[in-house]
Amino acid sequence: MSLRLTVIGAGTMGAGIAQVAAIHGFSTTLCDLSADQLSTAMSSISSSVEKGIDRGKTPPEARDLVAQGLSTETDLSKACADADVVIEAVPEDIDLKNKIFKTVESVVSSHAVIASNTSSIPISKLASSLSAPERFIGMHFFNPVPVMSLVEIIRGEKTSESVIDSIVKLARDMAKEPIVVRDSPGFATSRLGLVIGLEAIRMLEDGVASAEEIDKAMELGYRHPMGPLKLTDLVGLDVRLAIAEVLHEEIGEQFRPPQLLRDMVSRGDLGKKSGRGFHDWSV
Positions 62 through 91 that interact with ligand NAD (CB under 6 A): 76, 89-91
Beta bridge partners of 180: 153
Sole binder of ligand NAD in the list 27, 118, 124, 166 (CB under 6 A): 118
Sole binder of ligand NAD in the list 3, 5, 9, 241 (CB under 6 A): 9
**CA dist 115 → 98, 149, 184 (Å):** 12, 18, 16
Stretch binding ligand NAD (CB under 6 A), from 3-11, 59-67, 168-176, 197-205 = 3-11
CA distance 270 to 76: 27
CA distance 1 to 217: 49
CA distance 236 to 213: 20
Which residue number places its CB atom closest to ligand NAD?
A: 11
Query: Please, what is the Cα angle at 247 between 268 and 6, to 5 degrees?
Result: 75
What is the per-residue binding string for ligand NAD in 232-251, x denoting contact by CB under 6 A? ---xx--x---x--------
Burial 170-179 (b: 16+ CB within 10 A, else e): bbeebebebe
Q: Does 100 bind ligand NAD (CB under 6 A)?
A: yes
- Closest approach, Cβ 157 to ligand NAD, in A, equals 20
Tally Cβ neighbours within 10 Å of residue 68: 10
Sole binder of ligand NAD in the list 7, 21, 31, 112 (CB under 6 A): 31
- Closest approach, Cβ 70 to ligand NAD, in A, equals 16
Stretch binding ligand NAD (CB under 6 A), from 42-50, 62-70, 136-144, 262-270 = 136-144
Sole binder of ligand NAD in the list 44, 98, 143, 160 (CB under 6 A): 143
Beta bridge partners of 181: 154
> Residue 198: which of 121, 259, 270 has the closest Cα?
259
Stretch binding ligand NAD (CB under 6 A), from 5-13, 122-130, 152-160, 250-258 = 5-13
- Give the pairing of strands 150-155 and 177-182: parallel
Q: Does 277 bind ligand NAD (CB under 6 A)?
A: no
**What residues line the site for ligand NAD (CB under 6 A)?**
8-14, 31-34, 37, 76, 89-92, 96, 100, 117-119, 140, 142-143, 235-236, 239, 243
